[in-house]
């Protein structure tokens, strides 16, 4: 009896120790391979990390579904935007002739692009679904320059891990890892369904990351910075949204 109880205790102890050290090893491996998201701490950190790590391992190069032209939604729904600032209205009145997209950080040549510069880059289009975290979704044709093209032009350092992007909307910034930044479907998007991207949809240029939820697709992009450490931005959680409790990684 005693032996049995002791053996059971021993087995439980060994199993618990193995489990704990297994978790420790898993955590160290995950950190080493960049599989822990910037908001991977706190009470929801476990879930955020499991989602991000598993999707990075399984889907790093997977492509978002593309659709036939016939399935483009009749009316793309632009979600609410903050009231336009005076500065934005001035740009709008000038047809965004003076709009600039600055790119700096861990790059060889910090550069400032005008809309004409962006349009002169090779344009790409895809017909993909924009999905909102609220539950709705629509399909549209998105046209723009792949973010990877712009990053190649400015020469990203090999140590770079994230691209931080900032909107002209006050206090609105976000970031993606290099897997998404260099993904062929990630665009600096300036066209919607064959026309210029309308302002309610984020014109003149928005980030289009079709493998993530709508709120990662920031509107009115004015500034990109390439970094290897998100701790230096805001509260270090990787995005303004994460500071309001909205997950940084939204592939789920």
- Number of amino acids touching other proteins (CB under 8 A): 44
- Considering only the stretches 14-22, 53-61, 110-118, 222-230, report the one whose residues sit in contact with other proteins under the rule CB under 8 A: 53-61
Contact track, other proteins, 208-247, x by CB under 8 A: --xxxx---------------------------x--xxxx
Nearest to 222 by CA among 96, 55, 51, 65: 96
Instruction: In whole angstroms, give the CA distance from residue 164 to residue 230.
Output: 8
The rounded Cα 12 to chain-centroid distance in angstroms is: 43
Among 136, 155, 184, 194, binds other proteins (CB under 8 A): 136
Q: Does 55 bind other proteins (CB under 8 A)?
A: yes
The DSSP bridge pattern shows strands 221-227 and 100-105 to be parallel
Site map 12..51 versus other proteins, x via CB under 8 A: --------------------------------x-xxx-xx
- Could you tell me if 155 and 108 are in contact, meaning their C-beta atoms sit under 8 angstroms apart? yes
Q: Which of 102, 92, 85, 86 is nearest to 163 (CA)?
A: 102
Residues 138-197 that bind other proteins (CB under 8 A): 138-139
Contact assessment for residue 241 and residue 227, using Cβ atoms and an 8 Å cutoff? no
User: Segment contacting other proteins (CB under 8 A): 156-164, 205-213, 217-225, 231-239?
Assistant: 205-213
Q: At its nearest, how many Å lie between other proteins and the CB of residue 170?
A: 19
**By the rule CB under 8 A, 80 interacts with other proteins:** yes
CA gap 113, 153 in Å, rounded: 11
Q: Which of 64, 81, 123, 182 binds other proteins (CB under 8 A)?
A: 64
Q: Measured between alpha carbons, how far is 85 from 199 in angstroms, rounded to an integer?
A: 13
Cβ 91 vs Cβ 99: under 8 Å: yes
Q: Is 125 in the site for other proteins (CB under 8 A)?
A: no
User: Does residue 132 touch other proteins according to CB under 8 A?
Assistant: yes
* Residue 204 near residue 191 (C-beta atoms within 8 A): no
**Residue 36 in contact with residue 99, Cβ under 8 Å?**
no
| Residue 82 binds to other proteins (criterion: CB under 8 A) | no
Q: Which residues bind to other proteins, rule: CB under 8 A?
A: 1, 44, 46-48, 50-51, 55, 58-59, 62-65, 67, 71, 73-75, 77, 79-80, 129, 131-139, 210-213, 241, 244-247, 250-252
């Amino acid at each position: 009896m005693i032996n049995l109880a002791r053996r059971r205790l021993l087995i439980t102890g060994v199993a618990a120790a193995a489990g704990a050290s297994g978790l420790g090893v898993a955590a160290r491996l995950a950190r080493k391979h960049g599989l822990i998201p910037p908001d991977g701490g706190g009470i929801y950190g476990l879930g955020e990390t499991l989602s991000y790590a598993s999707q990075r391992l399984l889907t790093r190069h997977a492509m978002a579904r593309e659709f036939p032209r016939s399935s483009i939604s009749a009316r793309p729904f632009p979600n609410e935007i903050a009231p336009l600032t005076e500065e934005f209205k001035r740009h709008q009145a000038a047809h965004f002739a003076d709009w600039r997209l600055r790119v700096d950080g861990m790059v060889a040549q910090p550069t400032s692009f005008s809309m004409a510069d962006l349009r002169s880059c090779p344009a790409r289009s895809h017909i993909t679904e924009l999905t909102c975290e609220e539950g709705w979704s629509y399909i549209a044709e998105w046209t723009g320059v792949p973010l990877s093209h712009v990053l190649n032009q400015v020469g990203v350092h090999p140590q770079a891990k994230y691209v931080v992007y900032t909107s002209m909307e006050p206090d609105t910034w976000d970031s993606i890892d290099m897997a998404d930044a260099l993904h062929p479907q990630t665009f600096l998007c300036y066209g919607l369904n064959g026309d210029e991207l309308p302002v309610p949809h984020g014109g003149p240029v928005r980030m289009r990351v079709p493998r993530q939820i709508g709120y990662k697709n920031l509107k009115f992009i004015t500034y990109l910075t390439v970094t290897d450490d998100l701790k230096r931005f805001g509260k270090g959680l990787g995005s303004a949204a994460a500071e309001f409790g909205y997950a940084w990684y939204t592939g789920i």
